[in-house]
Amino acid sequence: MAGAEDCEGGDPTPFDFRGRSDDMPIALRALVLPAFDDLEGVPSEAEPWRHDREFEGAIDLPGLSAPLQYTDDGLGLVPTGIGKTAAATTTASLCASEAVDLGEALVCSVGVAGGPPELPAGSVVLADRLLDWDDKCRFDPDGDGSVPIAVDPYTDRGAFEFDPELVSRAESLAEGVTLRGAESADAAPKVLTGTNLCGDELWHGRRLAEEASWLAAEHGCEPYLVTEMEDVGTASALARFGHADRYLSVRGVSNHDRQSGGESARESFFTSGFEAGFETGLENAVAVARAIVDDQLP
């Protein structure tokens, strides 16, 4: 993704939208893309952004899962929907719309994710690589203990790079953020930079984690630090429209991606404490992303 060129366009529209006419595009300085706003039983990934900001406007555009909300100083907010297809559809719709100008915007996916057990719940990962978990070959097990997957020989894809200068700037801005510890964590959360594993398959367990680690190693981006379901779709759409060099992913660890102790993977996944770190992971991800986004706003 690094090095993608901006879309062509004229001078940006002024960022104070109160005086804009209906035929002027909404020029954003930053666009925040949570996955969901109203998923039953879990906190909204969009709501924290509305706690301390007034979104003066909203516009409903074809292809979006909800109206795009925006502030007078150029911050946009819209949930993409869960999964890569929903994320790609929302992102492409925004990029293609004549009502929105993303020519100078930082685009930031912000939400929760799973993570390996060595990462304390509440930790935040700034992605420098995206690995597409679904872009691979899968086979029946051979019975010899070998990993039953392989790199897809047809797509010549599977791993995406973020702009290193943008990631470095985000790391610097994140240094001043205080993270809240999760009650379920044995250690304090931290901000890390590394690989984000993205796939539409919702998986959990040691064997699958071994396969994920193998795939990351094959692409030269091991170890993976978080697992989520949207960001490859967002990145792919942005790349098609020339905006990928201004894209970041900020994910807070809400749970671990495999069982511990003598539990089965199924028991671990459906335990009542599985999402114990959700609120903390989301709170910390938003705190880090807010520091990055605020740097873009006047």
- What domains sit in the chain, N to C, each tagged with a CATH number? 25-294 (3.40.50.1580)
- Residue 19 pLDDT greater than 90, yes or no: no
Spatial separation of the C-alpha atoms in residues 50 and 87, rounded to whole Å:
21
- Is residue 83 within a helix (H) or strand (E), and if so which, with residue range? none
- Residue 3 pLDDT greater than 80, yes or no: no
CB under 8 Å to 168, separation ≥6 — which residues?
none
pLDDT, tens digit (0-9, with 9 covering 90-100), for 88-124? 999 999 999 999 999 999 999 999 999 999 999 999 9
Instruction: Take residue 12 and report the two structure tokens written for it.
Output: 């940006």
User: How are the residues of the chain apportioned to helix, strand and coil, as percentages rounded to the nearest 5?
Assistant: 25, 25, 50
Query: Do residues 174 and 124 touch, judged by C-beta distance below 8 A?
Result: yes
- Sign of the Cα torsion 133, 203, 258, 286 reads positive
| Average pLDDT of the chain, as a whole number | 90
Half-sphere exposure of 158 (CA within 13 A, CB side): 20
Query: Do residues 276 and 184 touch, judged by C-beta distance below 8 A?
Result: yes
Instruction: Take residue 199 and report the two structure tokens written for it.
Output: 């796939």
Residues linked to residue 194 through DSSP beta bridges, in sequence order: 127
CB under 8 Å to 85, separation ≥6 — which residues?
200, 233
Q: Please state, as a whole number, how many other Cβ atoms lie within 10 Å of the Cβ of residue 115.
A: 27
List helix spans (H) across 6-73: 47-51
Model-wide pTM > 0.85: yes
Query: Do residues 15 and 74 touch, judged by C-beta distance below 8 A?
Result: yes
Report pLDDT for 222: 96
- Residue 20 pLDDT greater than 70, yes or no: no
